[in-house]
C-alpha cells in the first residue's frame, strides 16, 4: 500500500497532543487515491464473495435498518453490499500491508512502546441509501476481554465520508471519564443526557484516504448513509505488549504482533 509522500516526515507532536487531550485527532490525508481505491475494491470483492478469505468475520445490516435488530452469529449470508462489518482484515494480504504501514508503526511505537500488537482490524461499511446508524458507544468493556483498557485506534476513510454519508461523530474529552458504565459498549440515555452529548458533539467528515486517531473510550457514533455512494472505512485497534486476554470459557486469545522488531 502506498502512502502519500508527506506522511514520511509528518510531525506527530500536534496530533498526539490533541488526541491525548480531546480523545481524537486528525492525521490528514494518508493514503494515495490509488491505494484507497484498491482497498475499497477489495472490500467490495470480499462482500460479494469474489475473494474468499478463510476465517474472516462478517456481520450483515439488520433487515429493518435498525441497530437494535441486528442478527448476531449469522456470519456470511451470501453476496451482498449490505454487510456492515468485516473483521479480521489482517488475514487478507492487501489489508495486512496497509495495517503495517510505516506511519502507523511510528504512531503506535510512540504511544504503546516498541512492541505493538493487533486487537482487531475492521471494515465498517454503509451501503448506499441504507447503511445503518450506530449509536453512541465506547470500544471497550467486558466484551473486549482485556486486563487493561485499550486506548489507541486509527480510523481511515476508503470513501468520502461527509455528514450525510454517516461520518464519524465524537464527544470531545469523553475519554477522560473512563467507561461510562462497567459493561462498556453503548452509552446509556442517562449518561448522554448528563453529558449534554448532542450539544457538545463534533462531526468529523473525512475525504477518501484520511486517517483519524480515536481513543477507545471516546464516545463516538456514525449516522445512516443517505447518499448514493458507499461509505467504507477501516478501524484498527492496537495494544501494547503488556495487555492480556482475560476470557475463560475458551483459551485466551494470542494477539498478532505487528511490525518487524527494531
Please report whether residue 5 resides in a domain.
no
Instruction: List all residues 6 or more positions away from 74 whose beta carbon is below 8 Å from its beta carbon.
Output: 59, 60
10 located within any domain: no
Report if residue 123 sits inside a domain.
Answer: yes
pTM over 0.75, yes/no: yes
Q: What's the pLDDT band for 118 if we cut at 50, 70, 90?
A: very high
**Residue 6, domain member (yes or no):** no
Residue 115 covered by a domain: yes
Q: Report helix, strand or coil for 24.
A: strand
User: Does a structural domain hold residue 35?
Assistant: yes
Q: What are the cell numbers at 16?
A: 498526539
Total structural domains within the chain: 1
Determine the Cα–Cα distance for residues 118 and 256; give it in Å rounded to an integer.
Answer: 5
Per-residue pLDDT tens for 164-196?
A: 999 999 999 999 999 999 899 999 999 999 999
Span 126-165, pLDDT tens digits:
999 988 899 999 999 999 999 999 999 999 999 999 999 9
Q: Is residue 66 part of a domain?
A: no
* Residue 102 covered by a domain: yes
Q: Is the pLDDT of residue 73 over 90?
A: no
The share of the chain scoring above pLDDT 90, in percent, equals 87
Region 120-129 average pLDDT: 96
Phi, psi of 251 (to 5 degrees): -60, 140
Range of the domain at 138: 15-60+79-257
> CATH number for the domain including 235?
2.60.120.620
Amino acid at each position: 500500500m502506498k502512502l502519500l509522500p508527506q506522511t514520511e516526515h509528518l510531525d506527530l507532536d500536534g496530533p498526539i497532543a490533541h488526541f491525548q487531550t480531546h480523545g481524537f485527532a486528525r492525521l490528514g490525508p494518508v493514503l494515495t487515491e490509488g491505494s484507497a481505491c484498491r482497498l475499497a475494491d477489495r472490500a467490495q470483492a470480499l462482500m460479494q464473495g469474489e475473494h474468499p478469505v478463510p476465517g474472516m468475520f462478517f456481520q450483515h445490516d439488520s433487515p429493518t435498518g435498525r441497530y437494535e435488530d441486528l442478527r448476531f452469529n449469522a456470519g456470511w449470508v451470501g453476496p451482498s453490499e449490505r454487510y456492515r462489518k468485516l473483521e479480521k482484515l489482517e488475514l487478507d494480504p492487501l489489508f495486512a500491508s496497509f495495517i503495517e504501514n510505516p506511519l502507523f508503526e511510528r504512531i503506535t511505537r510512540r504511544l504503546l512502546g516498541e512492541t505493538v500488537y493487533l486487537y482487531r482490524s475492521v471494515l465498517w461499511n454503509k451501503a448506499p441509501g441504507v447503511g445503518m446508524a450506530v449509536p453512541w458507544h465506547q470500544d471497550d468493556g467486558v466484551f473486549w476481554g482485556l486486563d487493561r483498557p485499550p486506548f489507541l485506534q486509527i480510523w481511515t476513510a476508503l470513501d468520502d465520508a461527509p455528514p450525510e454519508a454517516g461520518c464519524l461523530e465524537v464527544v470531545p474529552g469523553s475519554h477522560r471519564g473512563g467507561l461510562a458504565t462497567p459493561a462498556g459498549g453503548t452509552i446509556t440515555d442517562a449518561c448522554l443526557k448528563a453529558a449534554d452529548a448532542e450539544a457538545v458533539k463534533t462531526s468529523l467528515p473525512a475525504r477518501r484516504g484520511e486517517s483519524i486517531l480515536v481513543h477507545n473510550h471516546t464516545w463516538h457514533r456514525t449516522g445512516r448513509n443517505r447518499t448514493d455512494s458507499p461509505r467504507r472505512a477501516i478501524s484498527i485497534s492496537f495494544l501494547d505488549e503488556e495487555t492480556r486476554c482475560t476470557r475463560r470459557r475458551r483459551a485466551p486469545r494470542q494477539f498478532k504482533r505487528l511490525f518487524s522488531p527494531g
